Structure 1
Amino acid sequence: MKKHHALLLALLCTLSSGAWAQWQWVDKEGRKVFSDRAPPIDIPDSSILKQPGGRSPAPTKPASSTEPSTERAAATPKPAAKAPAAGIDKELQARKAQADAAEAAKKKAEEEQAAKGKAENCTRARSAKTSFDSGQLLRHTNAQGESVFMDEATRKAELQRLQKIMDTDCKR
């Protein structure tokens, strides 16, 4: 008995709330649109699948391309100026804009981090080049982990490496 009461209550709520879409049509991109508002004027009558009250639109003779459908224009309330396009969710647009802004901020932060890293590399390379240009004997650690003085070939290779770093990271 309780199941019948629950089912009857659910059916009554559904019928009285008008929760089902009154209008259905196919938009210019071929997507099916469900709405409680009439479709835009530029949607042809042949694209309207369902009207309020569960009725399908009555087949009418095709209107010529030069004269608008007077029946539809009279039945459809005129949209207010600057009314939002049917089928577009404002909340979805707001979330998309927020996601785009977050992505732009993330990209900007990454670019700033990369610029900061390049500036640090530039500073270290200039400092090392100053040490190399001073003419002092410099030590480095070889493959065996021993500290040895740099020979001319190693010194020249290190100067070339420092110059490449400065060429890429010290752009102003």
Structure 2
Amino acid sequence: MKALRLTLLALACSAPLLAAAQSWVWVDETGRKVFSDTAPPPSVTANRIIRQPGQRRSVNEAQAQSTPVAAATAAAPAASAASAPRLTGKDAALEEKKKQAQAAEAEKKKADEAGVAQLKEENCKRARAGKNDLSSGMRVARTNAKGEPVVMDDAAKKAEIKVLDEVIARDCKPA
């Protein structure tokens, strides 16, 4: 019975050691240690892996790598640190989509401005033609709400010319 207890005690004490032997330890991009029972992602280079299953370490190595900064320094020599991907905080695909969206927005705005300029030019031509007709001295007739022709008197012509002058001032480019 005593032998059985000693055996169970020995197994209980060695279980954490067996579990630790089957775990992975690596340093992530931010310099923190990551402990896992699965392999690190492919983005983690081999020089940042501190421990993997089946690997034995010496006590000095374990003490030297007990802090994240020391682990990162020991695991990544200066030459490989230069080749490690730089974290800029920007996603290249997202930046490209933003640029495309800005370019599309600028193109749409330019097309809208061109449409507005064309409408102003047409308004300008019509306003000038209307002003010439009203200023010619000829009698001008308009159609009222009932569809009947009504001849404009001088006061109505002046009021209409005033409105056309405002349209010309607003929509016509200075010559």
Tell me the TM-score range normalised by the shorter chain: 0.5 to 0.7
Deviations 1:81-124 (A, max 9, x none): 9x654443222211111111111100100000001100110011
1:70 Cα offset (Å): 6.4
Q: Which amino acid aligns with 1:78?
A: A
TM-score (norm 1): 0.57
* Count of residues in correspondence between the two structures: 119
Residue equivalent to 1:11: none
TM-score (norm 2): 0.56
Higher normalized helix content (fraction of residues): 2
Distance 1:80 1:137, change over 3 A: farther
1:78 to 78, 81, 84: 81
Give structure 2 stretches of 5+ with no counterpart: 1-26, 41-64
Give structure 1 stretches of 5+ with no counterpart: 1-21, 24-37, 40-44, 62-68
1:131 Cα offset (Å): 1.0
How far apart are the structure 1 equivalents of 2:83 and 2:137?
81
Distance 1:102 1:52, change over 3 A: farther
How far apart are the structure 2 equivalents of 1:101 and 1:139?
51
Runs of 4+ in 1 over 3 A off after TM superposition: 50-55, 58-61, 69-77, 83-87
Where do residues 62-101 of structure 1 align in structure 2 (5 Å cutoff)? 72-76=72-76, 77-80=80-83, 85-101=87-103
Where do residues 9-158 of structure 1 align in structure 2 (5 Å cutoff)? 23=28, 38-39=29-30, 48=32, 51=34, 53=36, 72-76=72-76, 77-80=80-83, 85-158=87-160
Distance 1:88 1:135, change over 3 A: same
Question: In percent, how many aligned pairs have the same letter?
Answer: 39
